[in-house]
Amino acid sequence: MVVPYEGQSYSALRRQCQQSGHLFQDPLFPATDQSLFYQNNRVGRVTWKRPKELSGDPHLFVDGISAHDLHQGRLGNCWFVAACSSLASRESLWQKVIPDWKDQEWDSDKPESYAGIFHFRFWRFGEWVDVVIDDRLPTANGDLIYCHSNDSNEFWSALVEKAYAKMCGCYEALDGGNTADALVDFTGGVSEPMSLMESGVKDDEEKRAELFERVLKVHNRGGLISCSIQATSSAEMEARLASGLVKGHAYAVTDVRRVRLGHGLLAYFRSDKLTMIRMRNPWGQREWNGPWSDSSEEWQKVSKSERERIGVTVRDDGEFWMTFDDFVSNFTDLILCRLINTSYLSLHKTWEETVIHGSWCRHDDPLRNRAGGCTNNHHTFLQNPQYVFDVKKPEDEALICLQQRDRRASLKGGRGQNLPIGFDIHRVELNRMYRMHVKQQKVGGSVYINSRSVFLRIDLKEGRYVIIPTTFEPGLEGDFLLRIFTDVPSDCRELTLDEPPQTCWSGICGYPSLVTQVHVLAASGLAGHDSDGASDPYVIIRCEGHKVRSAVHKRTCSPHFDTKGLFYRKKSKQPISIEIYNHNVVKDSFLGQVTLPDEHGEFQQTLHLRDKGGRRDNDLPGTITVAVVTSTTLTNI
């Protein structure tokens, strides 16, 4: 589904202009300084001109679309231009951003059809937004001030930049930003920022090889990639190093591949291949001058046909190759924007996606407050929104992205700073249905940063988990988008109730007066019933007609269950039973059980397994370790 930005319909506006014979003038983004700057003009005299006033033969594309079409201009938006460079290399992606481009192109045979109006699409906060602009572009001394192409007749890059500036409030809103955000806006994918300094890949050959495989996979599956060298001070921003690289500057990764060494037929029988990566400087110049730079002698090790195959050129166009080892040694930050495949018709891995819109909002009532801040705020942290999901495989990789609504368009009013956001993941009881009121086992979480989005890739064991998205400080309000990708459906949903609701039957059937959490930790010395003496045990916890069953543990007599259940009890004197079974294809066999009498407080105890009649004999060896927490206040767990 595509939503028109600010309700402007491209087709309706274009039709009106064609019928009236007037070129479109956008009232929402006028050709004035308010569309350029927050407050004061920082460029000088600006003249707005249409492409036909700048060229006798204007086109969206000249000889197709290419990363070489882009030059940054007089705006600090290398992050945006680098993302455009990556976009230009993916036809399936840029055709989403530049829809029906053939129809938008200048048609010399039908000049009357031209209406001075264009539209472009960006993925924003869970939906594709269609942004309409007129074709008036800011110039100084007859030249485009901002992003422009090598060819003076080509205007796609300048028009895409204008549409993005309109959506963000003005051109100055693009002065400084995050490439990861632009990559997501162009694709609807998920960006994973990585620090090459903190990940240990610089000193670990095995980690470097694993990272290359990951980067290669993202590239081969249509994802977009960017990189940069961190600047530690404002003085270092865009400082050129001896290697030719620039600090604090975003580069687009335009190719990733293994390059075959050698010449002639012999090269095809050799196993020598270099892992290499190609990048482009959005300035269109200033390249890497080290090994494997454009004119370096290393290229003599590669055949002419191989050089032509991978597109090696010797010109100062801002694009260059490096070995992956040199890349890791020189760059500090990497952004992988994955296109998450959710199609069941694909040959590649298919992800199950859950998309949830939520908000942090203040309220005086603690049970209704949803702006509790991060885990440092002990008394309010669990007042944040909570979302429960299940991992249904023995182990599954999950991709989790938390995004806040973009505030760039509010910068004019001084409200455009992003909130520091993040999230924690807690492993909870297998049957949890109500909100947490006590912290449980934290198994992961994101960093907290004032970025538009935060991302985590994590391996989780089978079980139930709760994600708690938060702002760093309590009391801050804002909207967010939570996206969760798993291999099988996770059944993710928000926990809204604090306790079981009272109904008209509560007076007759009774209302829970006691909350009990049973945590079965492990068992040992179980009798082996299989041919090799081992078992495939699992545990069932029963309480007042409800039960929780663990996963099956394969071929062991000492399983580590780590299984928790939460029970809202009406009969406090009714015992809780814990039963252990051996899984079998034909019929599961009973291994033993323990019963827990009513207890108040908290205890951890090792209990002997018994048969269903309560007896313990030589046929039922084994013990089980159980932790129980009971509470008379429902909202305590």
Active site residues: 78, 249, 281
Contact present, 294 and 313 (Cβ < 8 Å)? yes
CB 389 within 8 A of CB 354: yes
C-alpha–C-alpha distance, residues 369 and 475, integer Å: 9
Angle at 88 between CA 82 and CA 94, to 5 degrees: 115
Contact, 154 vs 69, CB < 8 A? yes
* CB 133 within 8 Å of CB 26: yes
Residues 353, 435 contacting (CB under 8 angstroms):
no
For 244: left if phi > 0, alpha if psi spans -120 to 50, otherwise beta; the answer is: left
DSSP 231-285: -SSGGGTTPBPTTS-BTT--EEEEEEEEEEPBSTGGGGG---EEEEEEEE-TTS-
d(CA 246, CA 229): 7
CB 559 within 8 A of CB 394: no
The first and second tokens of residue 199, run together, are: 């990940």
Are 80 and 252 in contact, with CB atoms under 8 Å apart?
no
Q: How far apart are CA 113 and CA 18, in angstroms?
A: 6
Phi, psi (5° rounding) for residue 5?
-70, 130
Cβ contact 340:347 at 8 Å: no
